Amino acid sequence: MTTMRAIVIEVTGGPDVLQVSTVARPTRVNAEFLVKVVAAGVNPIDTQSRSGTGPAEAFGPFPVVLGNDFSGHVVESSYDLHPIKAGDEVYGMTMVPRFGGTYAEYISVPATCLARKPRALSHVEAAAVPLAALTAWGAVVDVAKAHEGQRILIHAGASGVGHFAIQFASYFGAHVITTGSTRNIGWLRELGARQVIDHTISRFEDVVSEVDVVIDLIGNLTDQTSTRSLGLLKRGGLIVSVPTGGWPTMAEDAATAGVRATGYNVPADGSTLSMISRLLESGDVRVFVDQVFELDQAAAAHTALETSHTRGKIVLNVSPG
């Protein structure tokens, strides 16, 4: 087999530029794995790339296949005695455009970017995990170092990254505050939030203060969320701003407010994903899939992510499991 079905873009633009096509199947080289993709997660970085922002500046020649998250079966292992072998179920993330995207029947991905799929999860559930959970882990655990006695405010708690961030921060003992809509208040409390601020009726700065860390998953382009968050932090506190490119004065604004600030870019780290797998297996952390679309419905999936208030993640069915 030398070809495969994939969703490609020939130009950047709206969801309608996503088209089903037949393209060359990738060839595994060096320490890569060839994986048959069963399901692929849909993330905001995908919609940004499709529209021509974010990683799109590094696109090579078109057509381009998008998608970072995957869950599937190993077709070819990295080497004969590697513990993960052909036929094993794996999940992980790749880095578009450095590697081919996961909206395709096959991908070739570095061995360091995948892990064994948790047995407790279906492929659809597993595909919803990697990018969002790794981003949440990086921001909450690696950067903010969540711990008991710490007060952490997480914006957009019902989002893909947000619902993992709440669970990780709570697991490590932090007092978690989050923002969300009315319909999600009960669910966010179930995830571990001690306090939920309904953004449809309250402005968060009128409700909360003196937090140690803000995990900002919204950014300054929406109602100046980042700038408004600075006043909530204790002296020397930290804001982790995950959206990129929307707050050029971040360092200066934080210094003026007497707090620390950093962005965050997620690595495709299979070893960290293996740690997250144990929390998923034990039930200490859960993944929530809001909607599932077929591969040829990728445009509808992007439209849903961009226009609706998704709870958790959106996933594409790519091929039979």
Q: Do both 112 and 136 map to the same domain?
A: no
Task: Supply the pLDDT for residue 321.
Answer: 79
Residue 221 is predicted with a pLDDT of 87
Q: Look at residue 309 and tell me whether its pLDDT is greater than 90.
A: no
Range of the domain at 18: 3-129+287-317
User: Does the residue 56 lie in any domain?
Assistant: yes
Task: Show the tokens assigned to 85.
Answer: 């072998």
- Domain-embedded: residue 200: yes
Assess whether pLDDT exceeds 90 at residue 82.
Answer: yes
Tell me what pLDDT residue 223 has. 92
60 and 96 share one domain: yes
Q: What is the pLDDT of residue 308?
A: 83
pLDDT (mean) for 132-144 = 98
Residue 38 and residue 119 in one domain: yes
Q: Do both 240 and 142 map to the same domain?
A: yes
Q: What is the pLDDT of residues 85-117, one digit of tens each?
A: 999 999 999 999 999 999 999 999 999 999 999
Q: What pLDDT shows up at residue 155? A: 98
Q: What is the pLDDT of residues 174-230, one digit of tens each?
A: 999 999 999 999 999 999 999 999 999 999 999 999 999 999 999 998 999 999 999
Residue 268 lies in a domain: no
Q: Report pTM.
A: 0.97
CATH code at position 225: 3.40.50.720
Are the CB atoms for 46 and 127 separated by under 8 Å?
Answer: no
Which CATH number fits the domain that encloses residue 88?
A: 3.90.180.10
Q: Do 182 and 231 share a domain, yes or no?
A: yes
DSSP 94-130: --TTTS--SSBSEEEEEGGGEEEPPTTS-HHHHHTSH
Q: What is the pLDDT of residues 117-126, one digit of tens each?
A: 999 999 999 9
Residues contacting residue 124 through CB under 8 Å, at least 6 positions apart = 39, 71, 289, 292, 315, 317
Counted domains in the chain: 2
Q: Residues 177, 254: one domain? A: yes
Is 246 or 146 the better-scoring residue by pLDDT? 146
Q: Look at strands 89-93 and 260-263 and give their pairing.
A: unpaired
155: Cβ contacts below 8 Å, ≥ 6 apart: 162, 178, 179, 204, 214, 215, 216, 217, 218, 225, 229
Q: Is residue 298 part of a domain?
A: yes
Q: Are 115 and 150 part of one and the same domain?
A: no
Shared domain check, 139 and 124? no
Given a cut of 90, is residue 1 above it in pLDDT?
no
